[in-house]
Amino acid sequence: MIARDPLMALMTKKIIPSSLLVLILLVTGCGESKNLTKTEPQVATFSWFEYQGDDEMFRSSLDEGQFRNPILSGYYPDPSVVVVGKDYYMVNSTFGLYPGIPVFHSTDLVNWTQLGNAIDRPDMLPYDDVLHAGYLGVFAATIEYHKGTFYIMNTCVYCGGNFVLTAKDPAGPWSDPIWLPHLDGIDPSLFIDDDGKFFVVHNKEPDDVKVDGHRVISVTEVDPITFAARSEDITLIDGADPAPYNTTHIEGPHIYKIEGQYYVSAAGGGTGLDHQQLIFRSQNILGPYLPYDNNPILTQVGLSKDRKNAITSTGHTDIFKDANGDWWAVFLGTRAYGLDKHQEGPANFHTGRETFLLPVTWKDGWPIILESGKPVPLIVDRPSLPDSGPAPRPTTGNYTVKDEFNDSKLGFEWLFVRAPYTTWWQTGEGSLKLQPRSDRIGHLSLFDYTPQPSFIGQRVAHMSATATTEMRFTPETEDEEAGMMALQNDFFYYAFGLGLSDNNETVMRVRMRNKMATLFNSETLVELPVTFADGAPIYLRTTLDKEKISFAYSLDGNTFISVLENADATVLTTAKAGGFIGAVIGLYAEGEVE
């Protein structure tokens, strides 16, 4: 995916302007070390974590033969599907969060069960330099299958470039990355022709950039074992001219061979409200490719800004044929709120780019996902496929899930900010224990040190959601704090925790950070003194309701006392924070070193 924000170019090219260098030097203390030691502070113990989602658009009932969009709600962008017999496997991108690239399975395309994560070993990718800022890390993943082997292609921006993973079982283990140093750009996708030749199609910046957002789609033949280049990189589609439809920032390409013809499908228009899907066709894999006269084949551009339950920014599509011969498309979209207030620029959403499913129809040899001017339907007729049955964990609709931490391993849905190289958490027997550490969200330095905080979270999957936890924690110094955090990235978040005030009083505290240049620290919005017996539980609750966020605590688990109501939740949106990701909410613990 391509950003219009200058931070993307700054970080991916490893160029930091002198003004930013001075700022970072001033605010990070230059000599900060990540290897300092002290007596460990008290562990924060969480007995359970409950997430409840309740969106109005999900309250309508479904008939037996219908399904609900999105099929994966919350931060699951850039879907890619491979068909293996009567089974369907899907992957999504994860950027700066770990584990990376969730792998899902379904037999009906509606109910999806997560099998694991393709990036599930901390040393698989060098996350050390990856800001969790929505611009860097694990970009759009694609999945393919050939003769008993699964392939995932991906880009780790600012952490290695393009690579491929292989596995015999989609649940893993996946191989270590096979790096593709000969392949420039991002968004690689594997195509295997009828004769067994392997090709990688991808996005890259041309040598001669003619307009802002000028990108090209290119293809290279590669060795099927080593993935070394077997040909030059040949340009298939040049996105220099945005007319008559928007090809700027063209990205996320796939090649398909259908009835003897080659198709290139790619997203254009950037990642915002102009995002759309384009299709091109050729008799030869190397081109020339002609565009469909009625491009785009999927867009929400031009629809009323005040429409109810608006889906926006649709694109980054993968099309496929099911076991019955019917065609489908998975694509990303966003459920925006306050869209009518954002006539230009990004719309508000904290659920990120989600995965949608629609049938594909064919007209004169061209695939069409949605006719121009039609909104994405939220309720669709189900595929005529064997029912997978409900997934172990819901992926759409209104639901409540509660983790009581009885397993010795965290569930696949839990995410870290960057990969943990040490184990500072323990789960099992009814508790999750987090070790307070000096690593904190957004505390950076110039010395190849991007912190890996004691934070574990899961995707916010609803516009209106409530997260509640039971915690035991006794802060012993002013630097120690533990609780619940709602996080968009390293620089935009809310922290709601138990700590000590300047006068050594135990307080419930809400902190917020809403920009990169705030001395790399958060702002304390409120502190409320609290008294409870040593070792007794305290219950924390965070409530999101579109643009509002509220925080409350309880001493008995029933009666909650407000700490802060109706604060600005747009801090958790890409409209404020930039980037491509969605918010996560979870648990954290902090403690300084001496």
Q: Annotated active-site positions, please?
A: 78, 251
Angle at 11 between CA 6 and CA 12, to 5 degrees: 100
d(CA 571, CA 460): 14
Backbone angles phi, psi at 45, to 5 degrees: -115, 125
Residue 223: count of CB within 10 angstroms of its CB: 11
d(CA 499, CA 473): 9
Backbone angles phi, psi at 319, to 5 degrees: -110, 150
d(CA 400, CA 398): 7
How does 116-134 read in b/e, with b if 16+ C-beta sit within 10 Å? bbbbbebebbebebbbbbb
As a residue count, the chain comes to 594
The set of residues, in sequence order, having a beta carbon less than 8 Å from that of 158 and lying 6+ positions away, is 11, 12, 14, 129, 130, 131, 136, 137
Sign of CA dihedral 432, 433, 439, 440: positive
> What 3-state class would DSSP assign to 578?
coil
d(CA 156, CA 137): 5
Amino acid letter for position 461: A
d(CA 91, CA 190): 14
**Burial class (CB within 10 angstroms; exposed 0-12, middle 13-18, buried 19+) of 568:** middle
| Tokens 């005040």 found at | 306
Residue 530: count of CB within 10 angstroms of its CB: 16
Could you check whether the bond before residue 296 is cis, i.e. omega within 30 degrees of 0? Answer: yes
Amino acid letter for position 587: L
Amino acid letter for position 383: P
> What 3-state class would DSSP assign to 72?
strand
Give me 517's structure tokens. Answer: 């240049």
d(CA 484, CA 493): 11
Give me 376's structure tokens. Answer: 């994405």
The set of residues, in sequence order, having a beta carbon less than 8 Å from that of 527 and lying 6+ positions away, is 501, 507, 508, 509
**Burial class (CB within 10 angstroms; exposed 0-12, middle 13-18, buried 19+) of 570:** buried
**Residue among 94, 146, 149, 148 nearest 124 (CA):** 94
Give me 89's structure tokens. Answer: 């496997």
d(CA 296, CA 285): 21
Residue 433: count of CB within 10 angstroms of its CB: 16
